[in-house]
Amino acid sequence: MRSVVDMPSSGTILADVRGLVVRYGGIAAVQGVDISIRAGEAVAIVGPNGAGKTSLLSAIAGIVRPSAGSIHIGGKPLAGFALSDVVRQGVALVPEGRNIFGSLTVLENLRLGATPRLDASVAADIDRVLSDFPILGERRDQPAGQLSGGEQQMLAIARAMLSRPRLLMLDEPSLGLAPAIVDRVYDLLRGIRSQGVSVLVVEQNAARAFAFADRACVMSHGVFTLTGTPGEIGSDAAFDSAYFGVAMAENGGPV
């Protein structure tokens, strides 16, 4: 299978991934991916389960070490940072399943989101979150595990945003949520983007991601098989086969 290289057209490059390979034991989950994300843009990575999307995000977040290739954040190599320092470079992750701290209160979850910050406006920012999301405000002192799935997703995104990231990454933000709640999640992401924060979203729900993103990459078997604007990809006849992981190499590939 041939892979395609994602290159943004212009603008400051915030995250730059070159030739990324992620292996777990003998299995290569990501097999040579290039992607660049500019300041302020929204990028979607779609693809079937097991395509390597989560591994790619985990590598950019510093959770897994790549076997080959490089990741630069704001021009600095990620390899030089401990996991807990990646967020200090402006990269925040909302992982699949949200991973809020269920035994901690809503307020405590939010305070943890601001861990890297030393400035004095943390308390004011948390107050704003609690008033912007009345349900979180009402339940600020309750264990976050008691929130509904949609509320937990809002909390997870708000928590990530309290680190004041330059790049917000989300893994399957619509997973397991009712369509009306997914609308709210994407409305929230649009608002975040309009503040100039880059958003990288990984989705199986391609329609949602395409409606949101400036650019999209289709991932299958550890490589990008298509990149372009959501419009271009959606009308590409190869999209269905790429998305569903049909062996395109046999057919000569999509590009």
Part in contact with another protein (CB under 8 A); list of ranges 38-46, 93-101, 179-187, 224-232:
93-101
Span interacting with another protein, options 58-66, 71-79, 118-126, 211-219, rule CB under 8 A:
58-66
Q: Is 175 in the site for another protein (CB under 8 A)?
A: no
Q: Strands 215-220 and 198-203: what pairing?
A: unpaired
**For another protein, what does the binding mask look like between residues 8 and 47, x meaning CB under 8 A?**
----------------------------------------
Q: Among 18, 23, 111, 184, which residue sits at the site for another protein (rule: CB under 8 A)?
A: 111
Give me the least distance between CB of 5 and another protein, in Å please.
28
Q: What angle do CA 18, 114, 85 make, to 5 degrees?
A: 35
Where in 205-234 is the site for another protein (CB under 8 A)?
Answer: none
- Which of 7-15, 42-50, 78-86, 225-233 is the region at the interface with another protein (rule: CB under 8 A)? 78-86
**CA gap 14, 88 in Å, rounded:** 14
Which of 15, 22, 61, 188 binds another protein (CB under 8 A)? It is: 61
Residue 82 in contact with another protein, rule: CB under 8 A:
yes
241 binds another protein (CB under 8 A): no
Sketch the per residue contact string, 140 through 159, with another protein: x for CB under 8 A, - otherwise: -----x-------------x
Asked if 195 is part of the footprint of another protein (rule: CB under 8 A), the reply reads: no
Q: 3-state SS of the chain? A: CCCCCCCCCCCCEEEEEEEEEEEECCEEEEEEEEEEEECCCEEEEECCCCCCHHHHHHHHCCCCCCCEEEEEECCEEHHHCCHHHHHHHCEEEECCCCCCCCCCEHHHHHHHHCCCCCCCCHHHHHHHHHHHCHHHHHCCCCEHHHCCHHHHHHHHHHHHHCCCCCEEEEECCCCCCCHHHHHHHHHHHHHHHHCCCEEEEEECCHHHHHHHCCEEEEEECCEEEEEECHHHHHHCCHHHHHHCCCCHHHHCCCC
Candidate residues 88, 128, 187, 232; the one interacting with another protein per rule CB under 8 A = 88
Contact window for another protein (CB under 8 A) among 8-16, 28-36, 77-85, 208-216? 77-85
- If binding is defined by CB under 8 A, does position 63 make contact with another protein? yes
**Euclidean distance between CA atoms 189 and 183, whole angstroms:** 10
Give the footprint of another protein on this chain (CB under 8 A): 58, 61-63, 82-88, 93, 95, 97, 99, 101-104, 108, 111-113, 115-116, 145, 159, 163
